[in-house]
Amino acid sequence: QVQLVESGGGVVQPGRSLILSCAASGYTFSNYVMHWVRQAPGKGLEWVALISYDGSNKFYADSVKGRFTISRDNPKNTLFLQVNSLRPEDTAVYYCARGSGTSGWDPFDYWGQGTLVTVSS
Amino acid sequence: DIVMTQSPASLSVSPGETATLSCRASQSISTNLAWYQQKPGQAPRLLIYGASTRATGIPPRFSGSGSGTEFTLTISSLQSEDFAVYYCQQYNDWPPYTFGQGTKLEIK
C-alpha cells in the first residue's frame, strides 16, 4: 500500500533553516508528481510546492518562492523540502502528497501524516 | 490566482440526514475539482476528483457534482465518521493550486 512518511520538523528560530523529508513506499515513486502542502494551526490547507516526476520542473507558491526548495531522490524514493529564512508565519504542519498522475493536472491522492514546523524565538 | 470559496463555513446536521456543501471558483475550472475530508489530527483524504468521481474506497453516500464555477458535495445518510472538515481544491490552473477555506460538518 502507498505510504508517505514525513520527518525533519521541529522548533527553529526565525531566519534559520530546516530540511524536511518524505519517504515514499508501496508504489513506483519516480512515476508521480509530488507536492508539499502546509496547514497553519487551526487554519486551512495551503499548497507550497510541486516537483515533476523526474525532478526537472519545480513550482512554488509566491509565499515561499526564493526561500524554499523542493527536490527528490528517485533511487531513494524520497522527497525533500529545504526551508530557509524561516518566518513565524511558516509555522505549520507540512504534508507531502502524491499527485495522482504525471502531468500536474491531477488531484492529490495520498498524503503523509505531516511534520510540524514551529518557528519561534 | 483562482479563489475557491466554500459555503457554509459550518453546518450542523443530524446522523442519517443529508449534508450539502458548496464550493465556488472565481473563474471556470471545468471539472478539475477535488474534495478532501480531514478529521482532527489527521491528514486530508481524497474523496472526489474530476468534480464527480469517487476516489478508491470512498462509499457511494459521497457524491459530487458541478462544472465551471459551481460545485457541490453531497453526503447522504450521514454517519458518525463523516463529521469532519471538508475542503475543495482546484487543479485546473496552477501554480498555485488553491483550496477553499473549508466547511466544518458538525453533529446536530
Per-residue pLDDT tens for B6-28? 999 999 999 999 999 999 999 99
* B12 within 8 A of B78, measured Cβ to Cβ: no
Chain pair A-B, CB pairs under 8 angstroms: 65
Nearest to B44, CA basis, from A62, A32, A29, A35: A35
Pairwise CA distance, residues A69 & A61, whole Å: 11
Within 8 A of B88 by CB-CB distance, chain A residues are none
Nearest CA in chain B to A62: B96
Phi, psi of A76 (to 5 degrees): -100, 5
CA R_g for chain B: 13
- B86 CB-near residues (< 8 Å, 6+ apart): B6, B21, B35, B36, B37, B38, B47, B73, B102, B103, B105
Pairwise CA distance, residues B94 & A33, whole Å: 14
Within 8 A of A50 by CB-CB distance, chain B residues are 94-95, 97
Tens of pLDDT, residue by residue, chain A (121 residues): 999 999 999 999 999 999 999 999 999 999 999 999 999 999 999 999 999 999 999 999 999 999 999 999 999 999 999 999 999 999 999 999 999 988 889 999 999 999 999 999 9
Within 8 A of A32 by CB-CB distance, chain B residues are none
Number of H helices, E strands in chain B: 0, 11
Share of chain B above pLDDT 70, in %: 100
